[in-house]
Amino acid sequence: MCVYNSHCDGHFAKQFGAGPPDNNKSLTRQTPTQTKKQTPKKVSLENNKMLEPAIIKTKVAPQFGGPALEGSEDSDTGIGVCGWILTIICWLLVLVTMPFSFFICFKVVQEYERAVIFRLGRLLSGGAKGPGIFFILPCIETYTKVDLRTGVFDIPPQEVLTKDSVTVSVDAVVYFRVSNATVSVANVENAHHSTRLLAQTTLRNILGTKDLHEILGDRETISGSMQAALDEATESWGIKVERVEIKDVRLPVQLQRAMAAEAEASREARAKVIAAEGEFKASTALKEASMVIAQSPAALQLRYLQTLSTISAEKNSTIIFPLPIDFLSQFMR
């Protein structure tokens, strides 16, 4: 049985760009199997249209770095309804128990201290409080005191293998202070202990790239590079490293003996060179003096008398019998 369907003509026209079928041509047969095959295609198109709204509503939230649904609100906007209720209750408690509540609510910090206040676990805006008097609500607010004075700690002796494979023990001292009280409390668990451990590892890393003679003779450069590295690393902790000084460099006993022997041999060599130079200059001077004395016989007599005068000026038990030089010259002939 031949069935003509106008809906099929529109469907074919949209897909293949063809017009309605010619009456002269034979009409296509539609069997139940063909009708069943076309039904899933319509369902799939409808499913795609149903998924389109969900795709359009999805956007990227730049503050979180990931996808978020449109219309979603950030839950971290305040302390919430329960927080406000507790705050109101605390204010009522303070007003009811006045003036005794003033002894609990008012706190004082020194000139060199700051107070970091948390309300229901959240950091209060406005930064650290102080110096002087400040107010806290009981039960819902806590505070932490931070000392801003310059502190100092010793780096325990560190066994370091230098660049030229020599084991040395080096200790140092670090001067630091808290530059940002809020950051030092909120960003790190224990800023002082963390800075201490970081200073130990930084000392080992820097000395491991130096030779022994650089460690012994160029301590200021090593201290400066170590201070710059620590200051850069602890900036996010609210810590300012002001100064780093290397206290002592301990060498092994065998290495000390070897260096002492080397230094002693070097000093002996320099002493011999100096003595040889002195002998050379003395011999040159004696040669010139002998040439002068040979030209004048009276000069030898004067030198003889000068030698006798020098010997007699000293307090000694030496007995000298002077003889005329002419008398000795006869025996020499």
**Residue positions counted in the chain:** 333
Q: What is the pLDDT of residue 20?
A: 46
For residue range 132-189, list pLDDT tens digits in order.
Answer: 888 888 888 889 999 999 999 999 998 888 888 888 999 999 999 999 999 999 888 8
How confident is residue 241, by pLDDT bands cut at 50, 70 and 90?
A: very high
Instruction: Please count the other Cβ atoms lying within 10 Å of the Cβ belonging to residue 301.
Output: 14
Q: What is the pLDDT of residue 40?
A: 43
Q: What is the pLDDT of residue 55?
A: 34
For residue range 184-215, list pLDDT tens digits in order.
Answer: 998 888 899 999 999 999 999 999 888 888 88
What is the average pLDDT value for the chain, to the nearest integer?
A: 75
Phi-psi region of 239 (alpha: psi -120 to 50; beta: other; left: phi over 0): beta
For residue range 245-300, list pLDDT tens digits in order.
Answer: 998 888 888 888 888 888 889 999 999 999 999 999 999 988 888 888 778 777 77
Q: What is the pLDDT of residue 321?
A: 67
- The answer to whether the beta carbons of residues 177 and 150 sit under 8 Å apart is yes
- The answer to whether the beta carbons of residues 140 and 120 sit under 8 Å apart is yes
Q: What is the pLDDT of residue 68?
A: 35
pTM given for the model: 0.56
- Cα–Cα distance measured from residue 223 to residue 173, given in angstroms and rounded to the nearest whole number: 10
% of the chain residues with pLDDT over 70: 70
Radius of gyration of the chain (CA): 50
- Is residue 239's pLDDT more than 80? yes
Q: What is the pLDDT of residue 305?
A: 78
- Is residue 16's pLDDT more than 80? no
For residue range 215-231, list pLDDT tens digits in order.
Answer: 888 888 999 999 999 99
- The answer to whether the beta carbons of residues 12 and 27 sit under 8 Å apart is no
Between these two residues, 8 and 219, which has the higher pLDDT value? Answer: 219
232 SS3 class:
helix
Helices marked H in the chain = 6-16, 32-57, 80-96, 102-105, 181-186, 191-207, 212-217, 219-233, 253-295, 297-313, 325-332
How confident is residue 59, by pLDDT bands cut at 50, 70 and 90?
A: very low
